[in-house]
Amino acid sequence: MSSATARSGSPATPDSAASRQNLPPGFMPRRARPRVRPRVVAGFALVLLAAVGAVVVGLLVGPAHISVAEAVSALARRLTGKVDLLNWRETVVVGVRLPRVLVGFVAGGALAVAGAALQGLFRNPLAEPGVLGISSGASLGAVLAIYFHIAGKAVWLLPACAFAGAALDAVLVFAIAAHLGRGRVFTGTVLLVGVALMALNISMTTFVLSISLASYNVGREVMYWLLGGLEGRTWDHLLLGGPAVVVGTIVIAAHARDLDALLLGEVSAQSVGVDVPRVRMRLVLASALVVGAAVAVAGPIGFVGLLVPHVLRLAVGAPHTALVPLSFFGGGIFLVIADVVARSLSADLPVGVVTAAVGAPVFLALLVRRRVEVAGP
């Protein structure tokens, strides 16, 4: 449609039938169909392919050499119920690598989705999962579980304690923010309370770390957890973190258009029917849920939540209908591949080191080339 045709169109009247009759012959809005942007479709296709690719690579790479055929047949045997317990390759693929890859995918996806939601919600490009103070709460829970030797009693206890820490922190943040706002929760207050609790959590975590250094093993385990890693992650971790991440991600994705509307400012968002206080509450709670679950099962992994949404925004633009689901897959792929790199470099290099080592320079490059908007509101 050319601008010349459009300019000659008569002013719109609210009655659509009437205005259609008033339009000049060359003007045919009927041709307009729901637009699905080709870039977004291509992006989704690419991302789904890459996700499958990343999982396959994650299954194949490691100290034990396993071919594609062996991995596929091991998976097929498990799926058909013909378990071969004596086949060590099957144990490595299904019992060790697959849960590790899936936990990494879910955690990476969760961090990126939360980052995308929080950057939109706070209208701040530097918002990331840490700003709610939730991940530091999870860290404190995990570190206490290790220090008091709770973590050793069952595999699921460490992530459960971390999740409890995150949940307690979220409740505290909201209770204090609601108290300060006389019953209403304001995003600015949530940020400030989150930052204050984060400082408190970090100081307590550091305190536990310093006293745990008295024992080499405990100190090493605490340190290792704080760096964020996927080593030894099991199906228990996936069962604990997975459902929370899926639920939170669906809630965030369902509010994608509300996030777009919030970009126009609070009053405009309300004008187009967004119940801003309620939507903000839901989005912050959903973000807290996915971040708590992700940090509980994978440790405090940095830069995924900041970097992935920014990179994807360059590819598909700011609208959250595409950005939120793509962030889930993008974050998952990024973390799985970073874990493969970590495993390949050294047997016990935590994946958090790789995400930061890759993420920070990439983010800086984006900043320098001004591809990431630095000016906040």
Partner 1 sequence: MSLVEVSGLTFGYRGAPVLRDVSFAVGAGELVALCGPNGAGKSTLLRLLLGLHAPAAGRVTLAGTPLPSLSRRQIARHAALLPQDAPTDVPLSVREAVALGRLPHLGRLQPETADDVEAVVRALAATDTTALADRPITELSGGERHRVHLARALAQEATLLLLDEPITGLDIAHQLAAMDLLRATASGGRAVIVALHDLTLAARRCDRVLLLAGGALAADSSPAEVFTRETLARVFGVRADVRLDPTGRPVLDILETVEGSP
List contacts with partner 1 (CB under 8 A).
1, 3, 6-7, 9-16, 18-19, 27, 29-30, 32-36, 123, 254-255, 257-258, 260-261, 263-265, 267-268, 270-275, 313, 317-319, 373, 375, 377
Rounded-to-integer distance, Cα 23 and Cα 11, Å: 9
Rounded-to-integer distance, Cα 144 and Cα 79, Å: 38
The values of phi and psi at residue 126, to 5°, are -95, 0
Q: Which helix (H) or strand (E) holds 179?
A: helix 157-180
The minimum distance between CB 174 and partner 1, in angstroms, equals 22
Smaller CB separation from partner 1, 7 or 82: 7
The minimum distance between CB 131 and partner 1, in angstroms, equals 19
The minimum distance between CB 324 and partner 1, in angstroms, equals 12
The minimum distance between CB 291 and partner 1, in angstroms, equals 23
Closest to 292 in 3D by CA, of 143, 203, 165: 165
The minimum distance between CB 266 and partner 1, in angstroms, equals 9
DSSP track, 108-165: HHHHHHHHHHHHHHTT-TT--GGGGSHHHHHHHHHHHHHHTT-GGG-TTHHHHHHHHH
Smaller CB separation from partner 1, 29 or 361: 29
Residues 6+ apart with CB under 8 A from 314: 366, 371
The minimum distance between CB 306 and partner 1, in angstroms, equals 16
Rounded-to-integer distance, Cα 34 and Cα 119, Å: 27
Rounded-to-integer distance, Cα 117 and Cα 107, Å: 15
- Please report, as a single letter, which amino acid is at residue 29: P
Smaller CB separation from partner 1, 32 or 85: 32
Smaller CB separation from partner 1, 262 or 356: 262
Smaller CB separation from partner 1, 6 or 347: 6
Smaller CB separation from partner 1, 123 or 220: 123
